[in-house]
Structure 1
Amino acid sequence: MQTRRTFLKTSGCLAAGALLAPNLAKAAKVKDIGIQLYTVRKEMLEDATGTLKKLAKIGYKQLESARSDKGNFYGLQPKEIKKIAGDLGMTVRSGHVHIDKDWQRSIDMAAEAGQTYLVCSSLPSEGQTVANYQRCADAFSKAAEACKKANLVFGYHNHEYEFDKVDGKVLYDILLDRTDPTLVKMEMDLGWVIVTGNDPLAYFKKYPGRFPLWHLKDMDKAKKESTEFGKGQINVKQMLQNMDKSGVKYFFVEQEEYPKTALESAKYDYDYLARLDY
């Protein structure tokens, strides 16, 4: 026979379960993990195909290349890296290059490699002034128009220096405010934003949909160096919980310093994310 006490105890548990259920339903696993190939730059230069095979075995699905001494694809041709990646179940989704005399060639190569995005990895001209950032924003607009003609999306990747202030104005904000949000997108390096004392979530709120790409990394704030996930001070889980607000389509793991080897860190980072509920 069920007494009032057991009824209340049972109903209380059910109520608690009902409250917890929505939270459990919201938990998700990280999927479609990408990597910036600069993470394994030495390995890519030594053996591009072999390194891609190792990354595929780890589980990475999305790739972002970076210009090197051997060109935009570590010595591989655009169609070549596209086929190798495709055969391994991966996609060359983006690439880091510079806005320079070879810009149109970089666009043509990115299109040939099947990329969706082409990212300018650093400012096309130097100078921590409002005038220079205005010039760079105008250069981005022009570069983005050229990308659009090739069915590519233009993006810019930040470091830390863009968050300097001049006359009370954050220089990075000039790049966002002076460019067309439908043409010029941003690849937010979350680590560098946070290290400078800025909040990615505030940028997601102020500039919705401007950040379709991320560099996801953990950082040792004291050393200002990247580290393996869970070993720094970046709240990776919190960032992932705000993907919708960012408008992010793809993120790429990037780690530039390692305790042992780049590939070991790449595996550690992948395994960390694969286990993570957010």
Structure 2
Amino acid sequence: MAHNHPHTAVGNLKLAFFLNLGFTVVEFIGGLLTNSTAILADAVHDLGDCFALAQAWYFESLAEKGANRTYTYGYRRFTLLGAIISALLLLISSFYVLSVAIPRIIEPESSNAQGMFALAIVGVVVNGVAMLRLSKGTNANVRLVALHLLEDVLGWVAILVVAIILMFKDIQILDPILAILITLYILANIVRQLKNIIPVFLQAAPSSQDVTEIQKKIGHIEHINGVHHLNLWSLDGEHTVLTVHLVAEKNLTPEEYAQVKNRFRQIVDDFGIFHSTLEIELPDESCRLEESHF
């Protein structure tokens, strides 16, 4: 069976990043030179993928380091910060493209169809090469980036089609229309991304986990008489963290204590929880959190 070693994944991400970054610069320059808002819009799309690739590359490299005294949960949560920054930059860029493209719907301007055609060919090749390199990976993070690059390939195919039409027909309105469609697609992705990120950032319980069911299962553990202060959140949208206080029905023997912990571990594993912290309180023991009115 083939294995996707970490250094291979990082190497592929590094290559894809520099290919994408270099070509994004070419896109912005080419979009201005060809007077094509569609190319500028796709440059914004590729800029977003540059951020996605940079984050994937950086955090893939950090993954092996794990936790330390400063970041005791590791670096997984940094992806949220990077995603929010990327979303804000893409919002600014997208509104700029719309401010240029919308007036051209009313008063179309001529675009250099031959230049658009040449850039589109290069765009399909560059993004296609990067996509093929990453699509061979087994890492979920790498495969997700490969899907982003597939979207880029399809976007450049659309620009290629419009360029061919403009080479034979003077329908200049097609360029701003395509720019607006690409930008609206980017904005829809940003909104969807933020809807997923914000609850994680605010430490909401993951929608994929049933908190009530987890509490019910834990409450049925033998020798346990109560469950409180159950907290469930996600580090990065994938890795779930659980903390909980259990009240024992009596003073537990070492064997009974071990039984409770083993059963708790089974429940945690069944729900796919990445990290858990358990505190067991004796019947006559007061909870520190309740005393502090937390």
More strand by share: 1
Q: Shorter-normalised TM-score: what interval?
A: under 0.3
More helix by share: 2
TM norm structure 2: 0.21
TM norm structure 1: 0.22
